[in-house]
Amino acid sequence: MTFTYIPGDQPEILSVRGLKTHFFTEEGVVKAVDGVDLTLHRGEVLGVVGESGCGKSVTSLSIMRLVGPPGRIVAGEIKFNGEDLLALSDRDMNRLRGDRITMIFQQPQTSLNPVYSTGNQVAEVFQIHTGAKGKSALAKAVELFKQVGIPDPNKKVNAYPHEMSGGQAQRVMIAMGLAMSPEILIADEPTTALDVTIQAQILDLIRTMRNQLNTAVILITHELGVIAEIADTVAVMYAGQIVEEAGVEDLFEQPLHPYTQGLLGALPVIGKHTEKLAVIPGSVPDLVNLPPGCRFADRCAQRELHDLTICTEQAPELIPQGNNHRVRCWLYT
Amino acid sequence: MLTYVARRLLYVVITMFAVSLITFALIFASGDPAVALTPVRPGQQPSKELTERIRVKYGLDQPIPVQYVRYMGNILRGDLGESFYFHRPVAELLIERFPKTAQLAILILITSLLIGIPLGVITALKKNSVFDRIVTISSVAIISVPSFLVAVLLLYVFAFKLEWLPNGGTGTWKHLVLPVLSMALPMGVAYGIFLRTNMLNAVSADYARTARAKGLDATRTNLKHILPNALIPIVTLAGIDLAYLLTGVVLIETVFGIPGIGIAITRAATQRDIPVIMGSVFIGAIFIGIMNLIADIIVARLDPRVRLGDR
């Protein structure tokens, strides 16, 4: 069975509006996430892409409500099937986590507890959410190990994290994430720490699982290759905000935001010889003292080219550009 | 596992050789044993003649290496020698006294863990609460005070003022409470602070975040996932602390008048009673070696990454 995600065909299951997550540090308030809107439909793979420090991980942790001090969600709403997650009690949120919304992380080996066997850690999900006891929970873990393609699952459930390769450990994490057939799986850089060949396998596994369970996936990455491989829709983040969102083909064919264009330009193209890869000059603005205008303005070649002054004075909004394509840039007003 | 234990015991033997050499050298470096052994009548000069006789009698006139080899030869034959001062076989002295010291040391270690682990867990769970602050501040105060002073304070309050417990001696469990507490209290609160720090650091660990993402609440994440990891360094530390513990027990035995090896070794040291010093040091080294081995086995149980017998 293959599943193709058709936009507009599927019900909306997650809607993030005006999310602001700030970190209250000695140096000042770090506005890591500063007004993010996201919409996710059943079975959709939403790729969130951006440089490190752009707020993509903090956005996902905010959805899980796992941002710890000194960070705090200061504004916005996160609606899951119409229910505001930010208004839930801690107890109800615990029930939801690992059951209906799950998350996997970048470093699979350190994300597993070194003192428990991997099977034990997967079985724990069943113990928490179904009340299954030791033996039957472990039997289910064996079943899951098989599903995520871990060889010799009966034996491997007894293996400890340090006895597994990164790829296998990430499969264990995925087994954990998919144990309860969640509605949303958040994958935060799931392939970054892995070898290229293993990366493809893990992405393939995530796609297969999405097809089987109709789970929506939020995939956080800084690699456009990963996005091209698996995402249905893409949100590009820059300095705590989404600067562009579109269907994956749309975005790659017709990137509108100068930052997105820069990211795509920095990708090497096979067969095309260039002296140097294009780079975006400058660096990300200080998240404590953000500029009043567009956050990308002082790195933006388009601004200089078109000699725009509004860019440094006034912050642009996300503007619709037809066909589910939106961009935060003064060029398109 | 068995080969591992055997090899570790071999290390203990090697350590003992090293320790014997160092101790022997230190004894002679710190003064002439024959002079120290010479009895002196009040108001008189020590008799040179007597000193020389003592020197010959105990073989102290031989070159030091010869003495050492002879002593070690006897040891290998199972003869620990006879105390210069008590005129009794050292083996007998150790068998009589060491169990009291070992009992005290082990009780102190267990009690300090029984104090430290719950204290660390509760203060970590209730971080920045009034309870946490009171415990942390008083812990620092207790650690800062030397343990013999803790002993004296405990004696004053519980033996002299309240008269709940005896002020010294041995016999019943009541005699053990104050000696054990006077060392277990400072050690225990130190373990508590260490465990608290370990647990609080691990809250931001990747695996702790995974546990939360699975749906565990903060408390169960702390107890089930963070605590076992945070305990590993505590057990290692406790194993290392044993050496410190044995020297501390010497003081405690003196304060509470417990006839353990501590009192014997302090007296032997002032009198240069070589066989007793050497015997005590040996038995201390064996004790520390075995306890460290036990600590390592426990660490291997707690941490699957540690494989006994590798390398």
Condensed to tens digits (0 to 9), the pLDDT of residues A239-284 reads 999 999 999 999 999 999 999 998 888 666 666 666 666 778 888 8
Local structure of B282: helix, strand or coil: helix
Of the pLDDT bands very low, low, confident and very high (cuts 50, 70, 90), residue A1 is very low
Place of tokens 């600590």: B295
Q: Are strands A83-84 and A71-80 parallel, antiparallel or unpaired?
A: antiparallel
CB spacing of B214 vs A124 below 8 angstroms: yes
**Taking the alpha carbons of B85, B89, B94, B96 in that order, is the dihedral positive or negative?**
negative
Q: How far apart are CA B308 and CA A95, in angstroms?
A: 40
Does the pTM surpass 0.90? The reply is no
CB spacing of A107 vs B206 below 8 angstroms: yes
Range A16-45 average pLDDT = 94
- Mean pLDDT score of chain A: 90
Angle, vertex CA B304, rays to CA A141 and CA A156, nearest 5: 30
Of the pLDDT bands very low, low, confident and very high (cuts 50, 70, 90), residue A84 is very high
Position A8 scores a pLDDT of 64
ipTM: 0.88
Inter-CA distances, B132 with B126, B128, B138, B139, Å: 6, 6, 10, 10
CB spacing of B216 vs A94 below 8 angstroms: yes
Q: Mutate which of B127, B203, B209, B210 to disrupt the A interface (most A C-beta within 10 Å)?
A: B210
Question: Helices in chain B by DSSP H: which ranges?
Answer: 2-29, 33-37, 48-57, 64-76, 90-125, 130-144, 147-154, 174-202, 206-214, 218-220, 227-256, 261-271, 274-302
CB spacing of B210 vs A64 below 8 angstroms: no
Position A324 scores a pLDDT of 85
DSSP assignment of B61-128 equals TS-HHHHHHHHHHHHHTT---B-TTT-SBHHHHHHHHHHHHHHHHHHHHHHHHHHHHHHHHHHHHTTT
Q: Mutate which of B127, B207, B234 to disrupt the A interface (most A C-beta within 10 Å)?
A: B207
For A160-199, the pLDDT digits (tens) are 999 999 999 999 999 999 999 999 999 999 988 888 888 8
CB spacing of B215 vs A66 below 8 angstroms: no
Measured between beta carbons, which residues in chain A are less than 8 angstroms from residue B231? none
Which segment of A92-106, A177-191, A264-278, A308-322 scores lowest on mean pLDDT? A264-278
Q: How far apart are CA A178 and CA A156, in angstroms?
A: 18
Nearest chain A residue to B216, by CA:
A94
Nearest chain B residue to A163, by CA:
B305
Question: Could you tell me if B301 lies within 8 Å of chain A, comparing CB atoms?
Answer: no
Which residues of A have a CB under 8 Å from any CB of B? 64, 66, 68, 90-91, 94-99, 102-103, 105, 107, 110-117, 121, 124-125, 128-129, 160, 162, 173, 176
CB spacing of A98 vs B217 below 8 angstroms: no
Closest CA to B64 of B29, B115, B104: B29
Q: What is the mean pLDDT of each run of 10 residues along chain B (311 residues)?
A: 82 86 84 78 78 84 86 85 85 89 91 95 91 90 82 85 79 84 91 94 92 94 94 89 81 85 83 85 85 86 77 43
For B30-50, the pLDDT digits (tens) are 777 788 778 777 777 777 888
Q: Mutate which of A100, A111, A157, A173 to disrupt the B interface (most B C-beta within 10 Å)?
A: A111
Measured between beta carbons, which residues in chain A are less than 8 angstroms from residue B215? 94-99, 125, 128-129
Measured between beta carbons, which residues in chain A are less than 8 angstroms from residue B214? 97-98, 102, 124-125, 128, 176
Position A270 scores a pLDDT of 67
Under 8 Å between Cβ of A227 and A300: no
Number of Cβ pairs closer than 8 Å across A and B? 72
Angle, vertex CA B76, rays to CA B75 and CA B82, nearest 5: 20
**Taking the alpha carbons of A44, A50, A52, A53 in that order, is the dihedral positive or negative?**
negative
Q: Mutate which of A85, A113, A164, A185 to disrupt the B interface (most B C-beta within 10 Å)?
A: A113
Q: How far apart are CA B148 and CA A306, in angstroms?
A: 80
Place of tokens 């799931």: A190
Under 8 Å between Cβ of B293 and B8: yes
CB spacing of A99 vs B215 below 8 angstroms: yes
Of the pLDDT bands very low, low, confident and very high (cuts 50, 70, 90), residue A24 is very high
- Of the candidates B207, B215, B305, the beta carbon closest to that of A94 is on B215
CB spacing of A98 vs B215 below 8 angstroms: yes
CB spacing of A115 vs B214 below 8 angstroms: no
Task: Say which residue, A333 or A158, is predicted with more confidence.
Answer: A158
Closest CA to A266 of A254, A253, A278, A282: A278
CB spacing of B213 vs A97 below 8 angstroms: yes
Position A79 scores a pLDDT of 96
Nearest chain B residue to A182, by CA:
B214
Question: Could you tell me if B211 lies within 8 Å of chain A, comparing CB atoms?
Answer: yes
Question: Could you tell me if B302 lies within 8 Å of chain A, comparing CB atoms?
Answer: yes
Inter-CA distances, B106 with B83, B246, B247, Å: 27, 10, 13
